[in-house]
Amino acid sequence: MNHLDPKALGYANAIIVMLEAGIDDSASYREPINGVFCHLYGHVTKNNQRALDRYKKSAPLSKAAAQAPELPRVFEHIVPMAVIFQELQKLQTKDGRANTSKDSDLSSGTDISNATDISNAEERLNAARVIELIGRLYHVRQVTKAEDDKLRAAGLRYRMPEGYYQPHHPLYLDVEARHKWVGIEAALCMSGLNEKAAL
């Protein structure tokens, strides 16, 4: 995992710009989020380009998918992209408070000789937070079609179960909450999240 990868930082800053511009279409964030993930975990080609399609072929399996390799598989985000986007929005709101304070200082005529340094420091901090959040929430698993159907039937295609947001619930902030809720288990040989594929 490389939190300082230049391209991961670039994609993170692109996400920040989109958030600050008020773009609220979660689908628009899919590509830069994928970009952060690929460069953060080294899922890239020899030319340092994203290789998500290649990673999908060797991504971790569910127990059911591993036991029945002949069955069709679905590339499943353990935490839905829509939820990752919502968490990025929350992060942007928190960071926005600091930005508002900075803008206030600039408009009041305060000495801003170090404003560039301050701005750059805040940008690095924001990008680091974006990368940390995506690294924590972006996990994938290949599941069977039947398991994917279970998620849909439970109403969890694009959201987490309520327990994920409840501090005293066993599933509180558990990235595996959706899968645990419907009984999807990780294959023993690939139980670690975000294992690197051999690219």
3-class SS string, 22-47: CCCCHHHHHHHHHHHHHHHHCCECCC
Mean pLDDT across 57-81: 94
pLDDT for 94 equals 66
**Contact (Cβ atoms closer than 8 angstroms) between residue 175 and residue 78:** yes
**Contact (Cβ atoms closer than 8 angstroms) between residue 123 and residue 47:** no
Mean pLDDT across 100-118: 36
* Local confidence band at 4 (pLDDT 50, 70, 90 cut-offs): confident
Q: Per-residue pLDDT for 78 more than 90? A: yes
Cα radius of gyration (the chain):
19
* Local confidence band at 99 (pLDDT 50, 70, 90 cut-offs): very low
Return the beta strands (E) in the chain as ranges.
73-77, 140-144
Q: Is 193 exposed, middle or buried (0-12, 13-18, 19+ CB in 10 A)?
A: middle
* Local confidence band at 182 (pLDDT 50, 70, 90 cut-offs): very high
Q: Per-residue pLDDT for 109 more than 90? A: no
Q: Per-residue pLDDT for 29 more than 80? A: yes
Whole-model pTM: value is: 0.78
How far apart CA 92 and CA 121 sit, in angstroms, is 16
Of 28-32, 114-118, 156-160, give the lowest mean pLDDT range: 114-118
How far apart CA 69 and CA 142 sit, in angstroms, is 11
pLDDT for 137 equals 97
Q: Per-residue pLDDT for 95 more than 70? A: no
Q: How far is CA 139 from its chain centroid?
A: 7
How far apart CA 143 and CA 109 sit, in angstroms, is 58
